[in-house]
Amino acid sequence: MSSLVGSTPLDDFLNDSSTDTGELLERIGLLGAMFGVLLATGLIVFLAVVHRGRHREVVAILRVVGYAGAVMLVGAAVEVAGVASIADLGWIDALTYPTGRAAMMRMLGGLLIVLGASRSEQTVALGAVDQKGRIDKVEQQAPSDADALVRWLPSSAFAFVGAALGLLSFASDGHTVSRGPRVVHALVNLAHVSAASVWFGGLVGLVIVGLLRRSTRESSARDVLRFSSIATVALIVVTLAGSLMTWFVIDGFGDLTGTDWGRFLLLKVAAVGTAVAIGGYNHFAVVPALERSDDADAMVVRARTTISVEAIVLAFVVAVTVFLTTASTN
């Protein structure tokens, strides 16, 4: 099952419980950085693939991408402070630890996302789309008709590079570097985190669009329909990759109940199961009703509610993941 590569300095580091302040700082920082990476990346994918709406919605979502990048930057800096405190090192030396290096990637990624989002906000390139979401023509500035339907056309690589750095950073720390085949584990981790960001960020994107359209009673039905099939693929990838990583980390099924790591994983899987049940209800009951436009108003409200609750449950999953990746496997 697991191919444990002996006890490494990283294992000792992860299992050391004597530095409470440092651990607290590391976890708080990781929480911010993880939320920032998942949210920024997921919202960028949401804008590029799912969203068709108003210019003001594109700008609002890009603004949230920028805030997520800032949270990622600050969170990663707090993480480095935590690592420095745990290992009793200076900041520069802390960067020689895998966790410190990964946090530095997140800091750089966060900075690029902040720059990329603000550049994109100033020079939003938009495609004017028809009711089916097809691009009619490309516009370089806000359309004169504020209600014209548009989609975002990425105009700066900064945010993409920042998001890629953030996703890759998770393949360079935690149990990914100490358990299982190194390269395979890193690739599986990358697939897991990427799919998780598409799922989580997409839900938050739908929540933002729903809030902006609430006063107009205009539905996000088409965005919900487009997101629904993408979320299904993301869920499959998240589950397969998460199961593979579990296989790499544990020595036997007893670890699931006999170690802190295993117990956090069981809590995480239970929360994911809850999110899947809510998403399933949305996919199989609410989305078909939206497609048929039965009782549209009631269904739009129901879709918004279930999407918001699913996003909150996934936020809890992310918080549990912070404890999972920093938990002892002994």
Spatial separation of the C-alpha atoms in residues 79 and 242, rounded to whole Å:
24
Given the rule CB under 6 A, which residues bind ligand HEM?
34, 170, 174-176, 189, 192-193, 196, 199-200, 238-239, 242-243, 245-246, 249, 265, 268-269, 272, 314, 317-318, 321, 324-325
The pairs formed by 4-8 with CB atoms below 8 angstroms and a separation of 24 or more are: 4/179, 4/251, 5/178, 5/179, 8/178
Report the residue closest to ligand HEM, judged by CB: 242
Q: What is the smallest separation between the CB atom of 55 and ligand HEM, expressed in angstroms?
A: 29
* Complex with ligand HEM: residue 39 or 117, whichever CB lies closer: 39
* Complex with ligand HEM: residue 58 or 177, whichever CB lies closer: 177
Q: What is the smallest separation between the CB atom of 15 and ligand HEM, expressed in angstroms?
A: 13
Q: What is the smallest separation between the CB atom of 229 and ligand HEM, expressed in angstroms?
A: 17
**Which residues are within 8 A (CB) of 209 and not within 5 positions of it... i.e. 6 or more apart?**
51, 53, 57, 61, 220, 223
Q: How many residues does the chain have?
A: 330
> Could you tell me if 152 and 140 are in contact, meaning their C-beta atoms sit under 8 angstroms apart?
no
* Complex with ligand HEM: residue 80 or 149, whichever CB lies closer: 80
* Complex with ligand HEM: residue 115 or 281, whichever CB lies closer: 281
**Which residues are within 8 A (CB) of 81 and not within 5 positions of it... i.e. 6 or more apart?**
25, 29, 91
Q: How is the chain split among helix, strand and coil, in percent rounded to 5?
A: 75, 5, 20
Q: What is the smallest separation between the CB atom of 193 and ligand HEM, expressed in angstroms?
A: 5
* Complex with ligand HEM: residue 105 or 238, whichever CB lies closer: 238
Q: What is the smallest separation between the CB atom of 133 and ligand HEM, expressed in angstroms?
A: 26
